[in-house]
Amino acid sequence: MTNSGRSSDQTPGEQILDRAETLIQTRGYSAFRYQDMAVMKLQLAARR
């Protein structure tokens, strides 16, 4: 995983990709949905 624990240094796109990578690694590709990424994007937008 590329996330070094410094999510504030990453762009929103990098944060989403890191979270997506974690989901795929923990739940597997077949359990990953693009809806998951949409939720992540909304959560990041709400923080700003």
pLDDT given for residue 2 in this prediction: 52
Task: Kindly state the DSSP code that residue 42 receives in the 8-state scheme.
Answer: H
What CA–CA distance (Å, rounded) separates 15 from 21?
Answer: 10
The amino acid occupying position 33 is R
Task: Kindly state the DSSP code that residue 7 receives in the 8-state scheme.
Answer: G
What CA–CA distance (Å, rounded) separates 43 from 25?
Answer: 21
Whether residue 5 lies inside any domain: the answer is no
- What range does the domain containing 22 cover? 10-47
pLDDT given for residue 7 in this prediction: 56
Closest C-alpha to 28, from 18, 16, 20 = 20
* Mean pLDDT in order along the chain per 10 residues (48 residues): 60 87 87 81 83
Number of domains in the chain: 1
pLDDT given for residue 6 in this prediction: 53
Whether residue 43 lies inside any domain: the answer is yes
Please state the pTM of the whole predicted model: 0.59
Whether residue 3 lies inside any domain: the answer is no
